[in-house]
């Protein structure tokens, strides 16, 4: 009975710790700019370059949690007493690392193309805006920046 309570406590602790490792940040496509938040104001400029990048697949922590649970269950089968507790903890941590890596590899092909658009503003500033599409934008176009997106002007 005591080992079941130990496993349950370890699983809850591992889930709480690993839940903090989950990425909840938004991609640059949603942010709109690599520059400061002041980029949300409107401005006019000229496109200097456009580069295509590929976003990486994201992990949400599910693989780490499942891996941690499986690792804790396997680790609990080893040894007795405090050695069993140590093996359970080591199994949970190792399983979480492996589970997160498996999830990242599984999502690796699910990225999307993003476009880094380098704009020289009329005041001489340079901004790099990241968008999920460029539509009809070309190098040399006069553009307007509104709320972190580039539009033809």
Reported pTM = 0.44
Distance between CA atoms of 121 and 13, rounded to whole angstroms?
Answer: 50
CA distances for 85 relative to 32, 64, 79, 81, angstroms: 47, 20, 9, 7
Instruction: Please state the domain extents for the chain.
Output: 1-26+58-108, 32-55+112-153
Average pLDDT of the residues in 5-29: 53
Q: With b meaning 16 or more CB within 10 Å and e meaning fewer, what string describes 39-72?
A: beeebebebeebeeeeeeebbebebbbbbbbbbb
Report the alpha-carbon distance of residue 141 to residue 27 in Å, rounded: 26
Residue from 95, 103, 100 nearest 76 by CA? 95
Reported as a single tens digit per residue, the pLDDT across 98-126 is: 888 888 777 666 667 788 999 999 999 99
Mean pLDDT of the region 61-68 = 85
> Which of the listed CATH numbers 1.10.155, 2.60.40, 2.40.50, 1.10.10 matches domain 32-55+112-153?
2.40.50
Question: What is the pLDDT averaged over residues 58-84?
Answer: 83
Q: How confident is the model at residue 139 (pLDDT cuts 50, 70, 90)?
A: very high
Enumerate residues 6+ apart whose C-beta is below 8 A from 54. 111, 112, 113, 114
Q: What is the pLDDT of residue 120?
A: 93
What tokens appear for 88 in the block?
């359970």
Q: Residue 67's pLDDT band (boundaries 50, 70, 90)?
A: confident
pLDDT of residue 108: 64
Distance (Å) of CA 77 to CA 14, 72, 80, 84, 85: 18, 9, 9, 7, 10
């Amino acid at each position: 009975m005591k080992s079941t309570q130990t496993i349950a406590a370890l699983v809850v602790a591992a889930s709480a710790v690993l839940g903090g490792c989950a990425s909840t940040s938004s991609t640059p496509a949603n942010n709109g700019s690599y520059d400061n938040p002041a980029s949300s104001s409107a401005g006019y400029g000229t496109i200097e370059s456009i580069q295509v990048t590929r976003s990486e697949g994201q992990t949400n922590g599910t693989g780490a949690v499942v891996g941690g649970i499986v690792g804790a269950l396997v680790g609990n089968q080893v040894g007795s007493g405090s050695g069993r507790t140590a093996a359970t903890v080591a199994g949970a941590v190792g399983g979480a690392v492996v589970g997160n890596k498996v999830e990242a590899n599984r999502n690796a092909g699910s990225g999307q193309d993003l476009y880094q658009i380098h704009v020289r503003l009329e005041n001489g500033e340079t901004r790099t805006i990241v968008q999920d599409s460029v539509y009809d934008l070309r190098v040399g176009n006069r553009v307007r920046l509104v709320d972190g997106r580039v539009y033809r002007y």
